[in-house]
Each structure stands twice: as C-alpha cells, then as structure tokens.
Amino acid sequence: MSIFRHIKSLFIVEQADGDVSKVQPTYQAESEADEDLIRESPEGASGKVVKQFADILIQAMQAQNIKGFDYLEFKQSLRSLKDVEMDEATRFKSAFAMARTMGATPTLLVDSARFYIDVLKKEEAKFEQALTSQRERKVHSRVREIEALKEKIEAKTQQIEQLKQEVEEARAAIEKLEVGKADAEQNVDSTRNDFIASYNTIGGQIKEDIRHIREYLNE
C-alpha cells in the first residue's frame, strides 16, 4: 500500500464506486472560538466528505509527513485496535503502550497532531483563496450583471414614461390640429365661395351685357 493510501485509510474509507465514507462522524465547529475546525456556511447545503477534497488534504499531510514515530503512526495503532472490544480510554492507553516503546510521549503525539492540523489549515487557506477567485467569476460577476440590468430596466422605464408623456402630448396636439383643420377647411371653403361669388357677380354682369348686346345691337 502506498504512503498516500495508507494515510488516507486512517481517516477515510473509500467505496468500490469511488465514493468515500467517514471512519468517524462529520465534525462541525460549534462556534468561531473553535479555531481548529471551520464553521460551514449557513447558505449552502450541508457539507459531505468528497473524494476530491479528501485526497487534497491527505496529499498535503503525506508531503509533510514527519519522519519517525508521530501522531500518524499512533493513529495506525489505534486503528489496529478498532475491532478489539474495549472502551475508548483503554484503546488509547493500549495504543500508547505500543507507541511508548517507539519513544513516543503524549507531548510528542499532541505536537505532531497539531502540526498536521496546521498543514490542513494551510490547505484551507489556499482553498479559500481559490474559492474567492471562483466566487468572483461565478457570483460577483453575476451580481454586477444583475445591477447593470436593473439600471438598464430603470433607464428604459424612464424612457417608457417619457414616451408615454410624448404620446399623450402628441394626441392632445392631434386633437387641436383636428379642430384647426376643420376650421381651416371651412375658411378655405368660405374663401372659395367668396371668390366664386365675386367671379359670378362680375362674370354674370359680363354675360348679361353680352346678352343685351346681341339683343339690342343686332340689326
């Protein structure tokens, strides 16, 4: 078994389909005061252990694996006793009895365990940095697009209101023009009638004179 798979087996059980299940229940930080664990976001779905992230964390621990007997070897001793009937305190004491023959002390085990916690924290910091970039691409860019569209809607709404006002003003102008057109048509017809009356008066007189000339002056 490779070192990676060996370390991974101490914390994670990989299923045949590639999924993973936890050796221990999922631990969740109860408050911000728990500096070693991280509180899940209340906005997302409840977190679950996935192979992608478990592998990243295990690989980081493998890369920083302390030579000699440390917490990871002690963890292996604990795992070797998992099927033996004993309470947890007895299991830890029995594993430590074996670890002590390798020069382990409680302080060494705690210090090396905290060292691996720090390794995980560094990976978490890198993950958060990558997540910030991803959030910028997937979330913040959409927020900016939403705001731009809201501004566009507001501008178009104002334009619509302006156009509505212009339409109403145009309708009012049409009504005035319709009245004016009727008056203008009447004035034009009246002017034509005035011209015709003048024409007929003068023309009528001329025709009357022509009739008289023909009647009175023809020999």
Q: What does the H/E/C string look like for the chain?
A: CCHHHHHHHHHEEECCCCCEEECCCCCCCCCCCCCCCCCCCCCCCCCCCCHHHHHHHHHHHHHCCCCCCCHHHHHHHHHHCCCCCCCHHHHHHHHHHHHHCCCCCHHHHHHHHHHHHHHHHHHHHHHHHHHHHHHHHHHHHHHHHHHHHHHHHHHHHHHHHHHHHHHHHHHHHHHHHHHHHHHHHHHHHHHHHHHHHHHHHHHHHHHHHHHHHHHHCCC
What pLDDT sits at residue 32?
55
How confident is the model at residue 70, as a pLDDT?
A: 93
Q: Give the model's pLDDT for residue 4.
A: 82
**Domains of the chain: which residue ranges?**
3-144
Give the pLDDT confidence score for residue 56 in this predicted structure. 92
Residues in the chain predicted with pLDDT less than 70, given as ranges, are: 1, 15-34, 219
